[in-house]
Amino acid sequence: MKDKFKRGKWKEFLDWAQNRSLSMLHYCTGCGAIELPPTMTSRYDMSRFGIGPAATPRQADLLLVTGYLSTKTLRRLIYTYEQMQEPKFVVGFGSCTINGGMYWDSYNTIKQLDKYLPVEMYIAGCMPRPEAILDGLLKLKDKIETGEAKGYEEYKENIEFYHKNQEEALGEVQRTQ
Amino acid sequence: MIEMLMTAIKFLLITIFSSALGLLFMGIARKVIARIQKRYGPPFYQPYLDVIKLFGKNAITHGFIFDFGSIMALGGVIATLFFIPLGGWYLYSMSGTVILVIYLLAIASLGMAMGTVGSGNPQASLGISRALTQMLGYELPFLVILFGLIYKYQTSSIVGLMEAQAGGFMNWNLFTYPIATIIAFIVLLGMMGKKPFDAMIAPSEIGSGPVVESGGKYLGMMMLQKSITIIIELALFVNLFLGGAENILIFILKMLIVWITATMIGSLYPRFRIEDGVLFYWKWPLMIAIVQVLFIIF
Amino acid sequence: MRNEKEVIKLIENNLDPLEINKKRKQNLSVSFTPDKTIQSLSFLKSNSYKHLSTISCVDWIDDNEFELVYHLFSYEDYINISVKTRIDRDKATFVTLKEIWPVAEFYERDIHDFFGVEFEGNDNLEELILENWNEIPPMRKDFDTREFVNEEYEWRDYNGQKHTD
């Protein structure tokens, strides 16, 4: 599934440009959002790697899911993910997206983000420190440059799997385009 | 036939040159702001990478009017570029007057307004109505000062106003009419959309204004339009108040000094609300400009 | 500005409570029977206790009763009063407080969502915080959340080592 066709020269050039300028939409859902402002300001500067903030989903490449997700927020997150333009990447932040984290026995949060959206990279920690965030984002940049970050294509291929899981958790989800 | 080909090649060269220079100025501004805030910033060639990446993404379109609005904005700005003398390169600027340039600058905003009508997002129409209201605000003191200068030098073409300041360094309008220069600098801050007058872009209030629904190549075209607009406005200011230049390198140096000063002032202030911004332009700058023009005439 | 003792005397003279006590400084608690609660609350509102902070609910599963608590505050005396009533657990209904304080509509919607108490007169009892919920109301003490989670969600498989419990 990964080597369906080889990466041509044009795609290699676009990946070279893509990994040097990522614009990030940080979806601050849980308590993890408090570690992002220190990463963006003067001490652990994130903009020297080319990563900058984006204002709307239509202008963003990277969706950063910080923390736990209740079912109400998951529905809005899926609408946001489907509005982004390709190529797009999802990063899961903190241990609540890996296996439920601190809220593993709560009736209202979801336990694995992997079943609803295709995740490229997880950053572990409850909350990860800014050095850990930068380490994870730099590894994501290497992954984009070699062409292995293909989450958006897997979403399109296995769309029935993802849709079935989403409807099991949420009931009915509106699909517009 | 050969002449038409040469003119077409000159068009292309001037467009590519000013767009590349505009993107470089945007990168320099980001680096200056970062150093003021005591951190390293992105490298100064970052906007080039942004534009290349944006043209490689897929984008969805919202219909014919949306596409046409983006093209009209970019085309209007390129058409305005040919009437301004840039250093020693004159294309059509022998026949270009100041009033024509101000008139053509409005086409870019109208193009963006058409694009936002096509997209159908209420935040976009909020952003573009703020931009047009602000244009209503800053045009008044600017036109008052321009009429004063036109009366004094009895010519309204930009080349004429530039050559009237020749002959030495103390002949610039900066030193003969310093108050008019300061008012024109405040108007320049409003035209370029720097703080404190950037209510029309406003990234966290209305989701960056008129470009809220554009992604991919439409956003790339808007970035190119912004870069050429910066060059047009800086060149206008340098020609009218700082004496222009015959050599292209000295011209770029003068534009760079004005740009860095505007960036440094803009990085200190918060944002005006749109009603406060327009009323600010109609109060003190307008009164001082009228006093200055009466002083010129009598 | 009234003292706590004067407030206790005011309540004893004009209403008839089941029990009053002073919990700590600036904090009293009063309890009534269900049919006298609404008129006591409006009497307190006309005596400067104008601020309804919130409404909460306690599940006494051994006595088979719910207890509704109304928290009031006065800006003149600076004293908090908690007004309590007990209602039956199997047929949990009560009268709404919407006509006296309009904001009580949202607190009652919240309690209906999590405990299942019906309020007569309030016709806007939709879901406020939960979404798409088909089980018994989750804050009752006979709802076992670990069993619910183990049934509804799958756990990740760590190289053959299953998640216990």
Q: Do A17 and B212 touch (CB under 8 A)?
A: no
pLDDT average, residue stretch A128-150: 90
Chains C and A touch (3+ CB pairs under 8 A): yes
Q: Do B57 and A86 touch (CB under 8 A)?
A: yes
Which tokens hold the place of A46? 């994130």
Partner C contacted by A108 (CB < 8 A)? yes
| Residue B185: predicted pLDDT | 92
Chains touching A (3+ CB pairs < 8 Å):
B, C
Interface of A with C in 113-132 (CB under 8 A): 115
Per CB-CB distance under 8 Å, the chain A contacts of C153 are 110-112
Q: Do A50 and B53 touch (CB under 8 A)?
A: no
CA–CA distance, B238 with B223 (Å, rounded to integer): 23
Per CB-CB distance under 8 Å, the chain B contacts of A17 are 49, 52-53, 56
Per CB-CB distance under 8 Å, the chain B contacts of A55 are 203-204, 207-208, 212
- % chain C with pLDDT above 70: 96
Model confidence at A2, in pLDDT bands (50, 70, 90)?
very low
pLDDT at A175 over 80: no
- % chain A with pLDDT above 70: 95
Could you say which of C131, C154, C156 has the minimum Cβ distance to residue A72? C131
Assign B229 to helix, strand or coil. Answer: helix
CA–CA distance, C141 with C151 (Å, rounded to integer): 19
Question: What's the pLDDT tens digit per position in C95-122?
Answer: 888 888 999 999 999 999 899 888 888 8
CA–CA distance, B135 with B191 (Å, rounded to integer): 8
CA–CA distance, B248 with B17 (Å, rounded to integer): 12
User: How far is the CA of B273 from the CAs of B188, B205, B277, C134, in angstroms?
Assistant: 18, 11, 6, 48
Average pLDDT, chain A: 85
Most B CBs within 10 Å, among A58, A84, A134, to test the B interface:
A58
pLDDT average, residue stretch A3-13: 73
CA–CA distance, C72 with C50 (Å, rounded to integer): 7
Q: At what angle do helices B274-282 and B122-153 cross, to 10 degrees?
A: 10
> The complex's ipTM?
0.86
Chains touching B (3+ CB pairs < 8 Å):
A
Q: How many CB pairs under 8 A join A and B?
A: 69
Which tokens hold the place of B266? 């803009």
Instruction: Return the residue of A nearest to C131 by Cα.
Output: A72
Model confidence at A1, in pLDDT bands (50, 70, 90)?
very low
Could you say which of A20, A53, A87 has the minimum Cβ distance to residue B57? A87
Q: Is A2 exposed, middle or buried (0-12, 13-18, 19+ CB in 10 A)?
A: exposed
Residues of chain B with pLDDT under 70: 91-95, 202-207
Q: Answer positive or negative: Cα dihedral of C104, C108, C111, C117.
A: positive
Question: What's the pLDDT tens digit per position in A104-128?
Answer: 888 888 888 888 899 989 999 888 9
Chains B and A touch (3+ CB pairs under 8 A): yes
8 A C-beta contact, residue B211 and residue B111: no
Question: What's the pLDDT tens digit per position in A68-101?
Answer: 888 888 888 988 998 888 888 999 988 888 888 8
Q: Which pTM was predicted?
A: 0.84
Model confidence at A151, in pLDDT bands (50, 70, 90)?
confident
Instruction: Return the residue of C nearest to A173 by Cα.
Output: C132
Per CB-CB distance under 8 Å, the chain C contacts of A115 are 154
